[in-house]
Each structure stands twice: as C-alpha cells, then as structure tokens.
Homo-oligomer: A and B are copies of this chain.
Amino acid sequence: MNIELINTGSELMLGRVLNTHQQWICAQFADLGYVVTRQIAVPDTGPAIQEALRDSLTRADLVVTTGGLGPTSDDLTREFIAQMFGKKLFVDQSALAHIEQFFAQRKRIAPEKTKVQALVPEGAIVLQNAFGTAPGLVMQLDSNPFRSGHKALIVMLPGPPRELRPMFRDQVAPLLGKYFPRESEFVCRTLKSTGLGESYVEEKLEVPLEALTKAGLELGYCARVGEVDVRIVTRGPGAVDLANKAEAEIRERLGSYIFGTGDDSLEKIIVQLLTDRKETVSFAESCTGGHIANRITNVSGASAIFMAGFVTYSNEAKQRLLGVNPTTLETCGAVSELTAREMAQGCRERNQTDYAIAVTGIAGPTGGSEDKPVGTVFIALASAKGTFAEHHVNRYERETFKFVVSQQALDLLRRKILATKQIAT
C-alpha cells in the first residue's frame, strides 16, 4: 500500500516554518502499522497543488494533503482538487451551521469570507473540525484516472496543528481501518545507545542478526551526535516474536550501551533512576557552561533529585565556590584530571548530594595547546564510593562539543548509578 503526504504552503518553501506535520502524521501512520512512502511539500498555488497530487496519484492508494482549506485567498486546495476531478462544489449545510455556531459561541458574527469553508466537492465525506471552522474532506475515487485499475482515497486536512491532530486521530484513523485493513501484524521499536559510533554498532550487530534479517527483520540505524538509535521493524505473522528475538539479541550485543527506548533521553533516564532510589545529584560545570544542568532541568520532576549546580568559568570561581586547591590549578592547570576531581569532591561536599559530576575542558575554538588540544575534557564523578575520572578529546564545534560532553557526563553518571544498584542487590 502506498501512502503519500502533500504539505502545501509557501512559508514551508521559504523556510519560515518547520514542517511539524510531516513528523506527526508519519508517526501516527507508523503507530497504526502503515508507512508513508513519500512526503512532498509544494507552494500553495493551484497549479503546484494539482501537479503534486497528479504525481502522487500515479503511485498512491491514499494521498493526505495538509493546508489550504481556510478562508483566505491563498487557501486553494479544496477548489483546485475538486476541479481536477470535474467535481462541483456546493454548500454543505452541516459545515455551514458549524461555522456559524463557532462564531456565535465566541459572540462574533461569521465573516462572509469564512463561509467558503462550507463548500464541499460533490460526493466528498465531511470531517467535522472540533477546533476550528474548516472541515476536512475525503474524496473516494472508484477509479484513479492517473493509475488505471486502482482506486484511491484523497484526505484533505486543515493546516493548524490543533485542528489537524484531533481530526486525524478521531476521524481519519478509523477510516484507515475501514478502507485499508492491515493484512498483517506490524511492529516498530527503537533502541537508543550512547558511547559507540554508528559503524561500530552496525559491526557488532551485523553477523548476529543475519538470520533474523533473512527472516524479514528490517534494521535501521540513526546516528545523532553522541547517540545511535537502532530501529527494528517487523511485519506479517510472527512479527512480535521476530521483534522480540531481535531486541533480545541487540540488547545482548550492545549491553549497557543501550540506555533507553523510543523517546528516552539520558536526562530523563537519570531523573527516573535517581527518583526511584531517592538519591540526589549536583553539577560543577566549566566548559559545558550550564548545559548539563539545563538538560536535567528540562525534565519535569527534576527538582526532586537536582539540588544545585555551579558554573565555574573562572579559576577564581573554582577555588571560591568549589574549594579547588590553588596549587592544583597552578601545577596541573584548570583543565586537568586533578582539577576535575577536586571540583567534583568540592561540589558533592558543599551540596551534600549522593553524586556530583564535574567537567573541565577546552570548548574552543581557541585555548588549545599541543598537550591539551581543543576538545580536551576531564569528567569526574564523586560519590560515597570515591571519585572516578575520565578523559576524552571531542573535536566538534563549540555547541556540539558541549552536548557531547554532557552525553559523556550523564552516561558516566547513569553507569555508576546502575553499578551501585548491582552491588546493593
């Protein structure tokens, strides 16, 4: 089954707005067991919309369009699509009543312009808009003029996300099951790893998963900075079983490099782990400049586990706020293992937390030396069991460097928390 998504809007083509419809609609389809085979964005002119739809209909069983159903002069989708199939538009009384009621509820008179939204191509199904005035439209083509011997369904949705999303969930999703019953099972899972490069992850999995891949497992890799996602897709009878086998094998091979699934982030995992254990953490950041604290406090509920953070950019602040020994700074330098250790210990003592993480490094672009090139970082973790330190060289531009260091620091913390658990049990 081929599904295509056409997003209309000149603001998309000029890069003024991010196309959040694509991700949202594709994710909805995937969760329902369908895969969008192509997505297209075109300006909101009549010819561009018609050309894109004609192209899509040469391939697709289902085409979903977004945008262009509103009342203004650049809302052309309804009219130009109806025209393509020689369908007349006429006023749908229920849609018109909805528009009038919508304005009446807001104690305003419906502007004449808005009534164009009650126009519906003959034979189309009207999708009521619970959060706006433009209804969605569904056109069924018993014979697709651009792909002989095939039927097609065209679903037109309004552009505003707050209108489109409930309409898709409540009205389009149920239609899908009716028009395109799934022949088989479908499973899609994502395992998230950190600490290994993309090619290394693939090398580790290729041979062990060969048999499963031959049995129909689809494997995908998505490498972000400091993170590699492994995606498992299976279809047909036995899909769940195959996915389970694949997941078990991947977990076996990647072990603790896997930190989560789906939408997990390291910060979310850490807030969860510490909350479960009723433990706390504090941070002493030099080169990350508050980035680690910022990530942790993006998680709702962080206040239960995060007490305080220091951003000690200057040497003076490292001494005054964290008690780093001036001799250490003089003899080893601010970017050194010993400084990182003293920062972590000082941070933990002052904040009375179970864990303290400290980072000191050279974000660049300037400040490097032969011994300690740009990208050098020392990360230390202090806990009741002592202080542990790591050294990395991360050659990235400034903001990416900060993110990578925060991944390394949060992953070190995650591993230490998990290791402590293992000893306790």
Contact with B along A34-60 (1 / 0, CB 8 A): 011111111100001000100100000
User: Interface stretch among A6-14, A86-94, A140-148?
Assistant: A6-14
B16, B22, B231, B302: the one contacting A19 at CB < 8 Å is: B22
Supply 4 further A-B pairs (C-beta < 8 A) apart from A17-B222, A18-B22, A37-B43.
A11-B220, A14-B220, A72-B221, A290-B297
Q: Using known A-B contacts A313-B307, A321-B308, determine if residue A28 contacts B41 with beta carbons closer than 8 Å.
A: no
Which of these, B72, B233, B288, contacts A198 with CB under 8 Å? B72
Q: Which of A106-114, A176-184, A237-245 contacts B (4 or more CB under 8 A)?
A: A106-114
Residues of B within 8 A of A27 (CB): 14-16
Q: Does A310 contact B (CB under 8 A)?
A: yes
Contact residues of A between 193 and 238, Cβ < 8 Å to B? 197-200, 202-203, 206, 220-225, 229, 231, 233
In the assembled complex, the Cα of A176 lies from the Cα of B394 at a distance in Å of: 33
Distance of A14 Cα from B308 Cα, bound (Å): 39
Q: Which residue on B lies nearest to A40, using beta carbons?
A: B40
Question: Across the two chains, which residue of chain B brings its CB closest to A188?
Answer: B14
How far apart are A5's CB and chain B's nearest CB, in angstroms?
9
Q: Which residues of the partner chain B approach A9 to less than 8 Å between Cβ atoms?
A: 222
**A341: which B residues are within 8 A, CB to CB?**
none
Residue of B nearest to A110 (CB): B199
Say whether A351 faces chain B, with CB atoms less than 8 Å apart. yes
Query: Would A199 and B111 count as touching, CB distance under 8 A?
Result: yes
Which residues of chain B are within 8 angstroms of A24 by Cβ–Cβ distance? 15
Minimum CB–CB distance from A347 to chain B (whole Å) comes to: 12
Cα–Cα distance between A221 and B68 once the two chains are bound (Å): 11
Once the chains are docked, how many angstroms separate the CA of A101 from the CA of B395?
12
Contact segment of A149-157, A397-405, A413-421 = A397-405
Closest-CB distance, A356 to chain B (whole angstroms): 13
Q: From residue A59, how far is it (CB to closest CB) to chain B in Å?
A: 8
Residue of B nearest to A351 (CB): B317
**Complex A-B, nearest 5 residue pairs according to Cβ-Cβ distance, in ascending order:** A289-B297, A15-B27, A290-B293, A290-B290, A15-B26
Q: Is A1 an interface residue (CB 8 A)?
A: no
Number of interface residues of A (CB under 8 A): 105
Does A294 make an interface contact (CB < 8 A)? yes
Contact in complex: B303, A72 (CB < 8 Å)? no
Q: Find chain B residues with CB under 8 A from A73 CB.
A: 202, 206
CB of A389 closer than 8 Å to a CB of B: no
Once A162-B396, A308-B310 are accepted as A-B contacts, the answer to whether A199 and B113 lie under 8 Å apart by CB is yes
Q: Report whether A289 and B300 are in contact in the complex, using a CB–CB cutoff of 8 Å.
A: no
Q: Is the CB of A190 within 8 A of B16?
A: yes
Q: Does A160 contact B (CB under 8 A)?
A: yes
| A292 vs B309: C-alpha distance when bound (angstroms) | 13
Interface SS of A by simple majority: mixed
Asked if A198 contacts B312 (CB within 8 A), the reply is: no
**CB-defined contacts of A23 to chain B, threshold 8 Å:** 12, 15-19
Complex interface: chain B residues within 8 A of A400 (CB): 162
Does B303 lie within 8 Å of A294, measured CB to CB?
no
Find chain B residues with CB under 8 A from A19 CB: 18-19, 22-23
A364 neighbours in B (Cβ, 8 Å): 300
Can you list 20 A-B contacts with CB-CB less than 8 angstroms, sorted by A residue number? A11-B229, A14-B231, A15-B26, A15-B28, A15-B30, A15-B36, A17-B23, A18-B18, A72-B202, A72-B223, A74-B220, A105-B395, A289-B294, A289-B297, A289-B306, A290-B294, A293-B293, A294-B402, A303-B314, A307-B314
| A14 B35 Cβ-Cβ under 8 A | yes
Q: Is A29 an interface residue (CB 8 A)?
A: yes
Q: Is A298 an interface residue (CB 8 A)?
A: yes
Is the pair A15, B37 in contact by a Cβ cutoff of 8 Å?
no
Q: Give every chain B residue within 8 A of A363 (Cβ-Cβ).
A: 297, 300
Q: Which of A63-106 contact B (CB under 8 A)?
A: 70-74, 105-106
Q: Tell whether, in the assembled complex, residue B314 and residue A311 are in contact, meaning their CB atoms are under 8 Å apart.
A: no
Known: A71-B199, A293-B290. A13 touches B36 (CB 8 A): yes
